[in-house]
Structure 1
């Protein structure tokens, strides 16, 4: 299997929606992506195409966050959601999408990426609850992790505020 990772386009909307609805038990993640786009909070959406079939193998989304350190705003993103088609799971598609997105955002100047997820999965990319522990957030805890995207630009234990886009609050109210 060969995949090609690229930025999502308007022509991918239906396939991304279908992938999200088939990957999760509830339609919440599909609705989250829709709302992030409507609100203008989507920063980057990448898709993985299966070169053999031409079908969508996976997707990852990164959205804008409002993050402050010592009262100063910094560029930060939230990683969510990531989805991989059943036929492409356990083949590195999700990892490739996440790594590509993090590199792109770091190259573009983003300082921090946050994720709310399983530590055993996200720690392989460098995410850590220790990096996020200094940030006030309604999602604070062991599953709230951060990753500095600019080497050495931020010491661990930095204190500040971290607010996800408004669409996440809507998702939380529905849970």
Structure 2
């Protein structure tokens, strides 16, 4: 696999939307609006990190990271997601490569930490775990996880940007 991870470019946006829609099309626990969310984050200037995985000039994966707010006032916290890989390329390490690159980039930007909503078995491999006192309303605690780059974990309720409510 000859995979390159790079920042998104303006000409990538349509391909990212198509890829993200396809990646979540059959996902059981999906709103099926993930591609709208990425576009809304981009329009709102909230994509802190937007990386693509490219193989043979084809975009095969994408990851987005955007700021979140914590009710305690903790700063420099971000939310990872959505992360997308073409359905026929899942399970080949592309998502892991995107995760590692995005988290390294985020840490390099001075972030305090990152939260994610998803499968604990998958995200735990990257150091994410649920934290008592840090919650996302309406979500079982084990599926809302955090990774601290330095310092203590914040306590409070996390809120994602309004773009996560995008439906078109």
Query: How high is the TM-score relative to the length of structure 1?
Result: 0.84
Distance 2:89 2:8 in 1: 18
Extract unaligned runs of 5+ from structure 1. none
For structure 2, which runs of at least 5 residues remain unmatched after alignment?
26-30
Q: Is the 8 A contact 1:102 1:149 kept in 2?
A: no
Alignment of 1:30 onto 2:35? yes
1:77 maps to 78
1:59 maps to what in 2? 62
CA contact (8 A) 1:67 1:75 kept: no
Secondary structure of the residue that 1:42 maps to in structure 2?
A: coil
Q: Is the 8 A contact 2:135 2:144 kept in 1?
A: no
Larger RCO of the pair (alpha carbons < 8 Å, separation 6+): 2
**1:39 alignment counterpart:** 44
- Structure 2 counterpart of 1:166, from 138, 144, 162: 162
Name the SS for the 1:30 alignment partner.
Answer: helix
Secondary structure of the structure 2 residue equivalent to 1:109: coil
Contact 1:68 1:74 in 2 (8 A): no
Return the offset for 1:166: 1.0
Partner of 2:120 in structure 1? 119
For residue 104 of structure 1, what is the aligned residue in structure 2?
105
Show structure 1 runs of 4+ deviating over 2 A: none
Q: Which entry has the higher C-alpha Rg, 1 or 2?
A: 1
TM-score by length of 2: 0.88
Contact 2:135 2:141 in 1 (8 A): no
Match of 1:128 in 2: 129
Alignment partner, residue 145 of structure 1: 145
Structure 2 match to 1:6: 6
Question: RMSD of the alignment, in Å?
Answer: 1.8
Q: Displacement of 1:8 after TM fit?
A: 0.5
The whole-number CA distance in structure 1 between the counterparts of 2:39 and 2:48 is 13
